[in-house]
Amino acid sequence: MSMSLADSWGSAPASPIGFEGYEKRLEITLSDAPVFVDPCGRGLRALSREQIDSFLDLAKCTIVSHLSNKHFDSYVLSESSLFVYPHKVVLKTCGTTKLLLSIPRILELAAELSLPVLSVKYSRGMFIFPGAQPSPHRSFSEEVSVLNSFFGGLKSGGNAYVIGDAFKPKKKWHVYYATEEPEQPMVTLEMCMTGLDAKKAEVFFKDSTDGSCSSAKEMTMLSGISEIIPEMEICDFEFDPCGYSMNGIYGPAVSTIHVTPEEGFSYASYEAMNFNPSSLVYDDLIKKVLACFCPSDFSVAVTIFGGHGFAKSWAKGAEVDSYMCDDLVEQELPGGGVLMYQSFTAVTPGAVSPRSTLDGWNSDGAEMVAKSKEMSVCWEGEKAAKKKDADA
């Protein structure tokens, strides 16, 4: 099934302009297997390396490093990261990977382990080079159609949202969510940054201008990444000639960073998930991340399950010095979830590098932009439903 699906879509050529930093992120949560099937409760962690490779191959990425603890396994990939918990898999890929093509194989492996699907969440920002994306990632409607074919039958049905200011098409957040029942309490932060400060970005080039060669460990220390959450054990990796990825683990909590430092399409992402929201202050964490990159623009998406009381400081909008908030949207999700989305622009002259030289770039395959000032477009099933003052 997975091979026929993968073979039915052709590949798109890599962008001749630059590398696509914005990631696609897929999170599938599973229910427990019967105790007689999995008495040790290993769930997905019982998968072999060969089985994991079988779905990564479909997404067009490979494992370059890994780090584990008693709670989960983390993998740095050639394009971003993979996290495998007993009952959850999170796959995050950048570039022109075909993330959604991994779904049939993941579900097949879960079924072999008697792990039924509880929920799925897919999210991404607005691609810098949308026309370079291959099927099934040429548009959000195409992605929603694929997701609904696998998860539309869950109790909530498939629910998709495009969130953000319609007059700022580069600052949109795309989310698909479907669930059988309410999720366990958890907070997830997804942060996307563009227009990185030139000096900050320079750290992530393997060969520096003075002729010295930097390792991933040096990049982690020099950038300040190691100080964002100091308790995290970090698995980092540097790419040639530039670029950087890291996964951090601490108990069941994870953080991950991916950096594309080239001028003109520089990008960095930060994610933290499954942490105790009482132990981290939302604004403080964001400021620590920003200090590593000093971007000209950034967005934050906080997904909350368990209610505002559980989420503590994460349940309110962030305020960040030297940045103006362009947009603040609170979107309810099925099963009692909430998504808080904000986008920001730097306001202090000279504090950041010039904006991307690709701001005016457009191509066939770019997603259409609604005309309303603020938008949260929802699909129910494969059909667009209610849209306030918006065009398809």
SS3 track for the chain: CHHHHHHCCCCCCCCCCCCCCCCEEEEEEECCCCCCCCCCCCHHHHCCHHHHHHHHHHHCCCEEEEEECCCCEEEEECCEEEEEECCEEEEEECCCCCHHHHHHHHHHHHHHCCCCEEEEEEEECCCCCHHHCCCCCCCHHHHHHHHHHHHCCCCCCCEEEEEEECCCCCCEEEEEEEECCCCCCEEEEEEEEECCCHHHHHCCECECCCCCECCHHHHHHHHCHHHCCCCCEEEEEECCCECEEEEEEECCEEEEEEEECCCCCCEEEEEEECCCCCCCCHHHHHHHHHHHHCCCEEEEEEEEECHHHHHHHHHCCCCCCCEEEEEEEEEEEHHHEEEEEEEEEECCCCCCCCCCCCCCCCCCCCCCCCCCCEEEEEEECCEECCCCCCCC
- Between 284 and 361, residue with greater pLDDT: 284
Asked if pLDDT for residue 335 goes beyond 70, the answer is: yes
Q: Judge whether 305 is annotated as a binding position.
A: no
Q: What is the pLDDT of residue 212?
A: 62
258 assigned to active site: yes
Contact (CB, 8 A) for 198 and 319 = no
- Note the pLDDT tens digit of each residue in 235-271: 999 988 889 999 999 999 999 999 989 888 889 999 9
- Between 115 and 362, residue with greater pLDDT: 115
Report the mean per-residue pLDDT for the chain.
83
Q: What is the pLDDT of residue 17?
A: 56
Q: How far apart are CA 291 and CA 196, in angstroms?
A: 11
Asked if pLDDT for residue 49 goes beyond 90, the answer is: yes
Q: What is the pLDDT of residue 349?
A: 58
Contact (CB, 8 A) for 89 and 75 = no
Q: What is the pLDDT of residue 375?
A: 36
Q: Judge whether 129 is annotated as a binding position.
A: no
Asked if pLDDT for residue 353 goes beyond 50, the answer is: no
- Range in 103-112, 209-218, 244-253, 298-307 the model is least confident about: 209-218
Catalytic residue (choose from 245, 343, 356, 376): 245
Q: What is the pLDDT of residue 164?
A: 84
- CATH code of 24-346, in short, is 3.60.90.10
- Between 20 and 73, residue with greater pLDDT: 73
Q: Judge whether 204 is annotated as a binding position.
A: no
Q: What is the pLDDT of residue 21?
A: 60
Asked if pLDDT for residue 363 goes beyond 70, the answer is: no
Q: How confident is the model at residue 292 (pLDDT cuts 50, 70, 90)?
A: very high
80 assigned to active site: yes
Q: What is the pLDDT of residue 198?
A: 93
Considering Cα of 79, then 120, then 98, then 72, what sign does the dihedral take?
Answer: positive
**Phi/psi zone of residue 237: left (φ > 0), alpha (ψ -120 to 50 degrees), beta?**
beta
Q: Judge whether 262 is annotated as a binding position.
A: yes
Q: What is the pLDDT of residue 167?
A: 74
Q: How confident is the model at residue 128 (pLDDT cuts 50, 70, 90)?
A: low
Catalytic residue (choose from 87, 137, 174, 258): 258
Average pLDDT over residues 112-133: 88
Q: What is the pLDDT of residue 126?
A: 81
Contact (CB, 8 A) for 303 and 176 = no
Catalytic residue (choose from 80, 81, 119, 226): 80
Catalytic residue (choose from 94, 235, 292, 294): 94
Q: Domain ranges for the chain, please list them.
A: 24-346
